[in-house]
């Protein structure tokens, strides 16, 4: 298996130091080189995994680059290892205050440099993985309830600013307890996975905004989408789930014969659409979609509510 090499942005203006750095690091990492702060700011858009930053650049000082990284939400998780020519603690303290994770002094010591780079790359990889896992449902790979809470706030604020409706589909499997009871939990799990991927496929262009809310309940958040279009998507999802028969291993009946090779699954869908305004709580959208899902269940399941 091939592992992608981590990319390090090296910001260093001294040719001798740069050569030494490259000598130590180039076999293990992909290096992106900037010899001044302007280039460094540009190259940050390539999202390096770590930045090795000389604090004393010729044109201006490295603190400018450090501050830029800390002020940008998209960059601030990138670990910055500062390089200083001396052990002047004032500058080192200032670098830590501005978000550096550690420092190294020149001339470079290969073992110290490699160890620090490895440690912070490893830590940053693990932190990113934890962050993703905390927001992902492990059974389906969809975003989870925690991510939904964050996204609802963000998307609501975006629609308040842009002015527009935000719609939601609340989707729940029908009579799912029966599937677990009859076929067992593993088949129930596979059924949830099937419904999750069907919803994700149908709502492809909103893929980031499909959530497993818990159990057999899913939600699709549709910012900027009006009611009629949301309702049509709900109907597409309902039809798609209903028209697929899930294959399961043959099950032995009471008389020892083999029966049942497919499960017919259906879902009920509640649709809601709300114009996002500042003084309304975004949870109103969820409450309405939930109430409509209840209506769909009451109306006999395998349907979308409201009708129109
Ligand atoms: P309704 O049509 O009213 O929704 O009936 P239902 O039987 O689907 O009832 P409900 O939605 O309340 O039941 C959800 C069931 O989903 C209960 C629980 O045992 C099951 N469940 C929840 N999470 C999982 C899971 O991760 N895997 C499996 N296999 N079952 C789950
Ligand atoms: Mg259910």
Q: CB-based contacts of 286: which residues, under 8 Å, 6+ apart?
A: 152, 168, 170, 219, 272
Model pLDDT, residue 251: 63
Ligand 1 pocket check: which of 141, 145, 172, 176 to mutate, most ligand atoms within 8 Å of Cβ? 176
Model pLDDT, residue 256: 58
Residue 205 clears pLDDT 70, i.e. is over it: yes
Confidence label for 134 from pLDDT (cuts 50, 70 and 90): very high
Most confident of 61-75, 77-91, 125-139: 125-139
Closest Cα to residue 292, out of 231, 240, 241, 224?
A: 231
Phi, psi for 223 (deg, rounded to 5): -70, 135
Longest alpha-carbon distance in the chain:
86
| DSSP letter, residue 143 | B
Model pLDDT, residue 19: 93
For residues 21, 36, 72 and 137, what is the CA-based torsion angle, rounded to 10 degrees? -30
State percent of the chain over pLDDT 90. 78
Instruction: State pLDDT tens for residues 265-302.
Output: 999 999 999 999 989 999 999 999 999 999 999 999 99
Model pLDDT, residue 263: 85
Beta bridge partners of 136: 143
Average pLDDT over residues 170-195: 94
Whether residue 49 contacts residue 8, with contact meaning beta carbons closer than 8 Å, is answered with yes
| DSSP letter, residue 181 | H
State percent of the chain over pLDDT 70. 93
Confidence label for 97 from pLDDT (cuts 50, 70 and 90): very high
3-state secondary structure of 236: helix
Instruction: State pLDDT tens for residues 27-73.
Output: 999 999 999 989 999 999 999 999 999 988 765 678 999 999 999 98
216 Cβ closer than 6 Å to some ligand 1 atom: yes
All domains in the chain, ordered by first residue: 7-133 (3.40.50.2300), 145-305 (3.30.70.270)
Q: For residue 173, give the ligand 1 atom closest to its CA.
A: 8
Instruction: State pLDDT tens for residues 217-256.
Output: 999 999 999 999 999 999 999 999 999 888 776 666 666 5
Q: For residue 180, give the ligand 1 atom closest to its CA.
A: 29
Write down the mean pLDDT value for the chain: 92
Q: For residue 176, give the ligand 1 atom closest to its CA.
A: 8
Sheet holding 210-214, edge to edge: 210-214, 217-223, 165-173, 267-275, 304-305
Model pLDDT, residue 1: 46
∠ Cα 117 121 126 (to 5°): 150
Whether residue 90 contacts residue 63, with contact meaning beta carbons closer than 8 Å, is answered with no
HSE-up of 97 (CA within 13 Å, CB side)? 7
Model pLDDT, residue 143: 97
Spatial distance between the Cα atoms of 56 and 126, rounded to a whole number of angstroms: 31
Model pLDDT, residue 255: 62
Average pLDDT over residues 169-173: 98
301 Cβ closer than 6 Å to some ligand 1 atom: yes
Model pLDDT, residue 242: 96
Spatial distance between the Cα atoms of 308 and 304, rounded to a whole number of angstroms: 9
Whether residue 160 contacts residue 171, with contact meaning beta carbons closer than 8 Å, is answered with no
Q: How many helices (H) and strands (E) does the chain have?
A: 10, 14
Residue 3 clears pLDDT 60, i.e. is over it: yes
Model pLDDT, residue 66: 94
Model pLDDT, residue 133: 95
Interhelix angle 283-298/145-162, rounded to 10 degrees, is: 110
Q: Which residue CA neighbors atom 6 of ligand 1 most closely?
A: 175
Nearest ligand to the CA atom of 213: 1
Phi, psi for 298 (deg, rounded to 5): -60, -35
Whole-number Å distance, alpha carbon 151 to ligand 1 midpoint, is: 25
Whether residue 168 contacts residue 272, with contact meaning beta carbons closer than 8 Å, is answered with yes
Sign (positive or negative) of CA dihedral 291, 268, 199, 179: positive
3-state secondary structure of 196: helix
């Amino acid at each position: 298996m091939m592992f992608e090499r981590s990319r390090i942005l090296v910001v260093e203006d001294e040719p001798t130091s740069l050569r030494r750095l490259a000598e130590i690091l180039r076999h293990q990492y992909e290096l992106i080189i900037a010899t001044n702060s302007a280039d460094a700011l540009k190259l940050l858009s390539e999202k390096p995994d770590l930045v090795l930053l000389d604090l004393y650049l010729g044109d201006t000082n490295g603190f400018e680059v450090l501050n830029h990284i800390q002020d940008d939400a998209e960059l601030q998780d990138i670990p910055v290892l500062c390089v200083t020519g001396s052990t002047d603690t004032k500058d080192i303290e200032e670098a830590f205050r501005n978000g550096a994770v550690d420092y190294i002094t020149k001339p470079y010591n290969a073992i110290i440099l490699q160890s620090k780079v490895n440690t912070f790359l490893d830590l940053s990889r693990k932190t990113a993985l934890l962050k993703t896992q905390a927001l992902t449902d492990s059974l389906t790979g969809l975003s989870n309830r925690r991510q939904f809470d964050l996204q609802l706030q963000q998307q609501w604020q975006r629609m308040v600013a842009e002015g527009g409706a935000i719609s939601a589909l609340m989707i729940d499997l029908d009579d799912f307890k029966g599937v677990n009871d009859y076929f067992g939990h593993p088949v129930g799990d596979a059924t949830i996975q099937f419904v999750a991927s069907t919803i994700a496929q149908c709502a492809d262009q909103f893929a980031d905004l499909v959530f497993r809310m818990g159990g057999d309940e899913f939600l699709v958040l549709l910012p900027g989408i009006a009611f009629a279009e949301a309702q049509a998507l709900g109907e597409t999802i309902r039809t798609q789930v209903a028209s697929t028969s899930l294959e399961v291993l043959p099950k032995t009946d009471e008389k020892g014969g083999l029966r049942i090779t497919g499960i017919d699954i259906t879902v009920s869908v509640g649709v809601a659409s709300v114009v996002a305004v500042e003084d309304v709580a975004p949870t109103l959208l969820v409450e309405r979609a939930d109430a409509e899902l209840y209506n769909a269940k009451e109306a006999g399941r395998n349907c979308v509510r409201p009708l129109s």
